[in-house]
Amino acid sequence: MEYKYYISSHNGIETLYRIKEGRIGDSAGTLESFQSGGWSNDLNSIKSFMNKYAAGWLDENDAMDYSIAIGALRKKIDEARSFAAEKHGNQKYGKFPYEVHLINVINVLISNGILPDTEINIDLWSSAWLHDVLEDTDTARDEIIDRFGINIFEIVWSLTDGKGENRKEKKQAMYERLILNQNAIIIKLADRIANLQFSIINNNQEKIKLYADENEDLNRYLANRITERKGLALLDYLNGLIDKMKL
């Protein structure tokens, strides 16, 4: 099926729309928006688009092919990086600026073929930049929703430690949410791989032991829960690193 793609603001967020080939007025019944990780015919979003069309703010001349639309959406990633840099401020990752860790997580995605070339992967990259802002900064829930949408908020929230008396309890509370969000699982695994690789490079034996000890718990929660090939590949990679450290 051939589609035309449009980008239009909905609730202040740049949103990707698609419609079957043809004029908007003739094909409005096929109009969909990309929300919460999938294509939707949500009436509020469609009404927002059609109101702009009726008012002359967009028309068929604004249509673009998929690759151009994805390219335009990538600015969300830059916005997420800037937002994270501002929120983390002067926080450190060891002796380095905190952004070093976020870059390392992005590099794990790249090395595993997760590139910003689809709607889902753009959300993954954005979430990778933002994954610690709820846990480690004063960022509020609504700030993320208003700037990046509910899908990215849910990923970041699923990666945020829960309540508990110690690290183990906080991680377990987080795992209970994590297993309900496939995209969050992908970012969690990339995060753990990045942390472990950094610890290996810097010969931080304390951190290496910590991540190795926690890996059994992580695997127990993720057992039979991962449905995405990206997630399965990342888990295999993480477990391979852990096994090497045990030799």
Catalytic pick among 62, 79, 99, 135: 135
Kindly give the pairing relationship between strand 32-35 and strand 13-20. Answer: antiparallel
Catalytic pick among 136, 143, 161, 214: 136
Indicate the pTM of the whole model.
0.89
Q: What pLDDT, on the 0 to 100 scale, is given for residue 28?
A: 66
- Identify the CA nearest to 132 among candidates 93, 163, 167: 93
> How far apart are the C-alpha atoms of 193 and 24, rounded to whole Å?
46
**Which residues touch 56 (CB under 8 Å, ≥6 apart)?**
none
Secondary structure of residue 166 in the 3-state scheme: coil
Active-site annotation holds for 217: no
Active-site annotation holds for 136: yes
pLDDT < 70 regions, the chain: 1, 21-22, 27-28, 247
Q: How many other C-beta atoms are found inside a 10 Å radius of the C-beta of residue 40?
A: 13
Q: Convert 99-115 into a string of H (helix), E (strand) and C (coil).
A: HHHHHHHHHHHHHCCCC
Q: What single letter denotes the amino acid at residue 168?
A: K
Which value, to the nearest 10 degrees, does the dihedral of the CA atoms of residues 141, 99, 177, 77 take? 70
Residue 196, both tokens: 């472990």
Summarize pLDDT for 134-174 with one digit per residue, the tens. Answer: 999 999 999 999 999 899 999 999 999 999 999 999 999 99
> How far apart are the C-alpha atoms of 221 and 31, rounded to whole Å?
39
> How far apart are the C-alpha atoms of 186 and 179, rounded to whole Å?
10
Q: How many other C-beta atoms are found inside a 10 Å radius of the C-beta of residue 234?
A: 25
